[in-house]
Structures are given as structure tokens and as C-alpha cells.
Structure 1
Amino acid sequence: MKLKTWIADPTVIPADAAEDALAISVSDSFIEILATQKLSLAVTIVPDGLLLIGLSSDGNLAVDHRAIPHAWGIAVNGDRLAVATHREIIVYANSPLLAPLHPEHPKRHDAFFSPRVTFFTGDSMIHDMAIGQRGIVVANTRFSAVCMIDGRYNFDPIWHPSFISRVIPEDCCHLNGLAVADGQLRYVTAFGSFDQPAEWRKHSPFHGVLIDVERDRMLCEGLCLPHSPRLFDNRLFVLESGYGTVLEIDRASGEKSCLAQLPGLTRGLCAHADILFVGLSPPRDSVNRWTLPIHEVSTPLVAGVVAVDRKNGAVIGMLQVISRSAREIFDIQLLSGITCPGFADTSTNPGGLYILDSPSGGYWMKSLVAGGRR
């Protein structure tokens, strides 16, 4: 019998979630997808932090969890994994040769991510991210702009909507999502074309926009809380969170077609072959001030990740977060070709193991805790 449920270690649960331990349950079909496609997932869950979800060598569910505070957007490119937090972006790198040599868990992992560099962004409310050749492209929600993070500045604005008059920290339009293709910014989502401080909060949730950056035009308007625009095989998808839907958008006309309606606010989208992975969350209190279409759905709303067949919109697998209190899936990314990833975070686990890697060799190390000795 395969282990399909995981419960968080209480020693790594954040203080604000300590009375309600995080647990995850997955369907047989979800496990089969991870196994046959050789995939694992990086997931940020509020308030629990970052989870790497895969399978052990015997096919059981395997989860590596670190309680990184305010873990939000995720980006993956090759051996790099970047995670946005409240004021920083932490970049981890995979050391596949050292992964199976873990001193405490030999042969468990086929990938292990250890911290390489941290960028200080301040309270920029970083949402979507993409790792490029020059740096990390981010949706800087606080400043209503898309920015480059490369270490030269805290952030470098490279684009903002034409309706934004000044790139200042006012969260005018709740710019949150971006799609990058061939190294170029293509599409951006926001909750409206507003230019006053937090103005999006003062209106109904049906003012959302999808912006075609290349043509400098509104491709779609009147969306209900849009998130996570993505290009897969030149097909454009966006999540209309207020409806709990996955939309496909005609890139020329802006015509919308609904691929799937799901039991939760949709946010976080990635794909492998013909499978879409979509993050789901119940509406949080700040969203419940609005009457959303998702509130009228009779099906219970859940937090988790669903696998959707891109050909017909059918749900073919599900990972569900089980808890008494509301949990939010903030972002999800795939780790292709990796089945059982692990990672170290020295800021939240100061006495834990980590990797020091260099061209001359790599080593497993153990951090010194305060007052400790070698």
C-alpha cells in the first residue's frame, strides 16, 4: 500500500500555524503522474512556507518542507530555484551528484537544492517570477511594475502599464502575473487599470486585465481577479481566480474559452506535456468582502493542486491540503526529471545540513548553531 498522506513535522511549522498542523493527501492518479512523467513540484503555501513534493524510491509520497516566512512566488530554470519572500528573493542551486550522498538520508534524493545568493528587495510584494539570462524578472506588485533583479539595485523597473504614471510603492492595480517566452516579457495580469494608491481595492473584482506587452494593448478586460498568465506551446492560458477557472485566450482577438472550472480560487500554473498543474485555494478573508462567482459554487472549495488534461479540461489527479484553518496555495512550479528533491534553508534551520559546491569539489556541511563548537 502506497503512502499517500504526509503530515508536517511540528518542529518546523510556523508559530501562526502551530495549532493546525499542515497535512497533504494525494490521489493514486496524481502519484502515477509524478512517477510516469518523472516530475516533482515546488509549492508555496501560506503560512507554511516552501514544500518540494515528489516520490521516494518505493513510490511513496515524499515531501521536504521548510517554514520560510512569507514564501510567495517561485521560479525554476535548469538547476536554479528562486523563492520570493517578504523582503528577499532566495536563489537555490541543485547539486545532483551530492544529493544521493546525504549524510543522514543516503540514496533518498536525486536532487538537492542549497542556497547560493539572496537579493534584498524590500517589501515589494513579489508575485510571479521568471529566471532569465540577465537576472530574475519579477512582478513587483507594490510598485505596479515588472522589474529585473540582478543585484545592481534592489530592483530595476523594466516595464510598467501605460496607465501607471509613476513607479512608486502604492499597489495601484495589483499587478501580479507575468508570462515570459524566449527571454521576452509577453503578457501581464493586473486587477484593473488603476493609477491611485490601492485603488483596485475600492472597486468590484470584475475590472481585471490581461495586457499584451509586445503590442502595448489590453488583450482582455473585465476579468475577475486574473492570475498566472502562461504560454505553453504558443498557447496562452490565464487563471480567472474569481471564477475558479482556467481560460485559454486567443492571442490575436482576445477571445476567451474556459478549459476547466475548479473547486477553488485558481492561482499558480505550470505544465508538462498535455498536463496542466493548477493551484487552488479557498477565498481568504480579504477576498470575502466581495461576492465572487466562486462563492456560488455548490462544490466545497479546497486548497491543493490539481492536474488537468489540457486536451479536454478533465481533472486527472489531485493533491489536497488538509487543515482546519484556511491555507493558500500561492505558487507552483515543476521540477522536471527530478523525482525526490530535497533542499536546505540555513536561515530557518541554522543547525541543518547544507552543501558547499565549487569547481574544485562539493561537500556536505553542517551549520554551527549559536554557541556551538566544531
Structure 2
Amino acid sequence: MSETDPIPASPIAPAGVQNPEPLASVHTANFPALLDELGVSLALTTYQAGRLVFVRSEGDRLNTHFRSFDRPMGMATLGDRLAVGCGVQVWEFRDVPAVAAKVDPPGRHDACYLPRRSHVTGDIDVHEMEYAPDGALWLINTRFSCLCTLRADCSFAPRWRPPFVSALAPEDRCHLNGLSLVDGAPRYATALGTSDAAAGWRSDKARGGVLMDIPSGEIVVAGLSMPHSPRLHAGRLWLLESGDGSIGVVDPDAGRYEALCRLPGFTRGIDIAGPIAFVGLSQVRESAVFSGIPLADRLEERTCGVYAVHLETGQVVAFKFTSGVQEIFAIRVLAGRRQPELLNETVDLLKHAYVLPEADMADVAATTVG
């Protein structure tokens, strides 16, 4: 393992975070080369630390670069778009390469995400999100146990809920959490239970989890330990059985989950590039929520970081946080963007970053362009 330099704490602490620890991490020697080979960087969210973190290759080392947010969780990408679900709102960003060229140090960045829209949802506990090809943003509304989209005149627009949930209520009845779109439409969802009572999923959290088929409402696999993040890739349906710390494959016809490998942390958040799955690991807190799950019995010491898993061989390379971050929620691969930057309301440069329609650029004074 090789160390990366500790990153200074943000001068602006996210809501609810007091004196955040500096981020520090270690990684296996071949992790930077893997990102270079794939031509990607990673974005990950940690609601516990209140940060969005870019993981970028820098020669034979990894560079971790962060921005502060209020409880960031789900993320979605589509082309130049990046959406981040936060405590009471969803932020949508766009990559503006012309701005990237002006960010210090000049010439280093090949992408720069600027905020274009913020939608206030209220505290709906946004979990996984996905863009449809038409740009519609689908999100798991965990507090109301439903799948929803956004409407300008509403907090959210409910679109589906599990058949066993009888009504919309801010009660987190089944802890709906994971989402997968197939052919542009919502197809699979995960939940930690099948309860119709407020927080009822907690009574059987160790083995009450399910993978559901959204169009039919049927349960595809039951008896799972805190499942998250269904993903269809190369004709196979992948899933994280978080309570067991594993990544594996689902056979929908047989209703069976088979682990590919078990990792040293609570597996939550996944994105796939080629044959490599980037899987988020969390240490998980010693609390009633995580007591009694197989992972807690299997491991006394648990890891927070990102494991790159080869989906054919199960071989892994690792990136681990050693301070500042204990839990990861979402991971996104940023294809073709090796050195991304993001400007949000905590960054002064945003005040002077203007983007106009191409048709209007001819009317802009030459002294303001450059």
C-alpha cells in the first residue's frame, strides 16, 4: 500500500458536522494505473462526513479532492450531467470544459461541474438515483417508501411503491434503497424488509431484505441481508448483499443470489467500467441498526474505502480511507474525465463562471471572454 497526502479539512463544515477530520487514505500500488487504463476517475459520496470526493490518478498515486455538501447520498450521471441527492434537495450539475481550463492550476483539469439547478424535496432521505436516457431523474424516496421523479411545482412526484406498502407516509416502512433502470425504465429495486409499519424493517434486518421487479411488483429474491445497488451489466444482474459484505450475481429465474466475493466492509454503492466493479465499503457504526448482521459477526475490524473487483476472477485492488471518512454511500465512474473539478456554493470562483447559449456568444464583449 502507498499513502496519499492528508487533505486539509474544508473551511466550511457541512450541516451537522463539527470540526471534520482531514481526509487521509492509502491504496494498493496498482489502483492509479487501473484508473488510467480505464480512462476514468471516481466520484463518491459520504453523508457521514458531508462530502463529495473525487478519486483521481496522479502518476503512481491517487489524489482525493472533495467538496462539502449537506448529507450527500445518491448520485446519478448522464453524459455531462451529475446529480447529487442531499439532505433536503437534489443538486444537478453540468460539466463545462471551457471553465475547466481556467481552474487553478491552469491546464490540469479536463472537466468542471457547475451547478445548474437545485430542487428542494424536503427531508425524504434520498437514496439511489438514476437518469433515464431522456433526462428524467428517478430517485428512491426512502422516507416515503416510494420511487419518484421531480416536478417543479412539487416536492416530489410518487411513481411507484412496493405492493406491500399501503400508503404514502414519512415513516420509512421498508427502507427502500436501491434502484436499477433497464432499457430506460425502472426495473429493479431493493428494500431491507417488507413491512407496512413505521420503521418495521428493523425487526428483521439481518435476513428480511428483498430484490423486487418494479413492473410486476414481485419479489425476485428474498432472505437477503440488507441488500443494495442492483445493477444489470453484460447480461448479468449484480447485487450487493451489504449485511454480508459481498458482491454477487442474481439468478432471477431461480430466485437465488450467489456471492462472487466477500469484502472487509459493508458493501454499498457500485458502478461498473468494463470488467471492473468499483464497490464502496463502509465501516458501519456500532449501533442497533447494524447489530446482528452477518458482517458484524464475521469481522471485528471493518474497512471504509473503494474496492475494484474483477467481475470474472473476483480479484481486487483497494483504496482505503484512514481518517475523515467511515461510511460511503454512492460511487459513480466518470468516464473520460480523469481530472474533474466541481464548483458549488462554497467556492468563490463560481461567482464569475458564466455559461451562455452558443447563439448569444457573438454578443458578448471580447474583454469578458477568455
Fold similarity call, TM over 0.5: yes
Aligned to 1:94: 95
Distance 1:77 1:342 in 2: 17
Tell me, what secondary structure is at the counterpart of 1:89?
strand
8 Å contact kept, 2:188–2:211:
yes
User: What are the equivalent positions in structure 2 for 1:38-77 lying under 5 Å apart?
Assistant: 38-45=39-46, 46-56=48-58, 58=59, 60-77=61-78
Which has the higher mean CA deviation after the structures are superposed, 297-306 or 210-219?
Answer: 297-306
Q: Which residue of 2 aligns with 1:116?
A: 116
* 1:197–1:168 CA distance, 2 compared to 1 (3 A): same
One-letter amino acid of the structure 1 residue matched with residue 318 of structure 2:
M
Q: Distance in 2 between matches of 1:308 and 1:25?
A: 17
SS at match of 2:190: strand
Residue 341 (structure 1) aligned with residue 340 (structure 2)? yes
Q: Secondary structure at the match of 1:28?
A: coil
The share of aligned pairs that are identical, in percent, is 34
2:367 aligned partner: none
- Cα deviation, residue 90, structure 1: 0.3
SS of equivalent residue, structure 1 residue 34: helix
Cα 1:140–1:262 change in 2 (3 A) is: same
Q: Secondary structure at 2:98's aligned position in 1?
A: coil
Whichever residue aligns with residue 347 of structure 2, its letter is N
Displacement of 1:48 in angstroms is: 3.3
The answer on whether the counterparts of 1:220 and 1:254 sit within 8 Å (CA) in structure 2 is yes
Segment of structure 1 superposing worse, 281-290 or 89-98: 281-290
1:217-265, CA deviations, whole angstroms, 9 ceiling, x for partnerless residues? Answer: 1101111111111111221111111100012001222222111100000
CA separation of 1:289 and 1:226: change in aligned 2, threshold 3 A: closer
Q: CA deviation at 1:288?
A: 5.5
**Equivalent residue, structure 2, for 1:242:** 243
Summarize the Cα distance change of 1:160–1:354 in structure 2 as closer, same or farther, 3 Å threshold: farther
Deviation at 1:60, TM superposition (A): 4.4
List gaps (5 residues or longer) in structure 2. 365-370
The alignment's C-alpha RMSD in Å is: 2.2
Q: Does 1:293 align with 2:291?
A: no
| Structure 2 equivalent of residue 369 of structure 1 | none
Instruction: Return 249-258 or 115-124, whichever deviates more.
Output: 249-258
Runs of 5+ consecutive residues of structure 1 not aligned to the other structure: 364-374
Matched residue, 2:105: 105
Q: TM-score, normalised by structure 2?
A: 0.90
> Deviations 1:261-307 (Å, cap 9, x if unpaired)?
00000000110000000000012234555212112324731100000
Structure 1 residue aligned with 2:201: 200
Q: In structure 2, do the counterparts of structure 1 residues 5 and 308 end up closer, same or farther at CA, with 3 Å as the change threshold? A: farther
CA 1:295 to 1:84, structure 2 compared with 1: closer, same or farther past 3 Å?
A: same
Q: TM-score scaled by structure 1?
A: 0.89
What amino acid is the match of 1:178?
A: L
**Residue in structure 2 matched with residue 233 of structure 1 by the alignment:** 234
Distance 2:335 2:290 in 1: 39
State whether residues 36 and 57 of structure 2, in contact with CA within 8 Å, keep that contact through their aligned partners in structure 1. yes
CA distance in 2, matches of 1:206, 1:280: 20
1:93-114 CA-partner distances (Å, limit 9, x unpaired) = 0012331222x32101000001
Equivalent position amino acid for 2:131 in 1: I
Letter in 1 for 2:122: G
Residue aligned with 1:201, SS: helix
User: Which aligned pairs between 1:279-358 and structure 2 lie closer than 5 A?
Assistant: 279-287=280-288, 290-298=291-299, 300-315=301-316, 317-323=317-323, 327-346=326-345, 348-349=346-347, 355-358=353-356
Deviation at 1:328, TM superposition (A): 0.5
Q: Secondary structure at 1:339's aligned position in 2? A: coil
Query: CA–CA distance in 2 between the matches of 1:143 and 1:156?
Result: 11
Quick check: 2:9–2:20 contact (8 Å CA) kept in 1? no
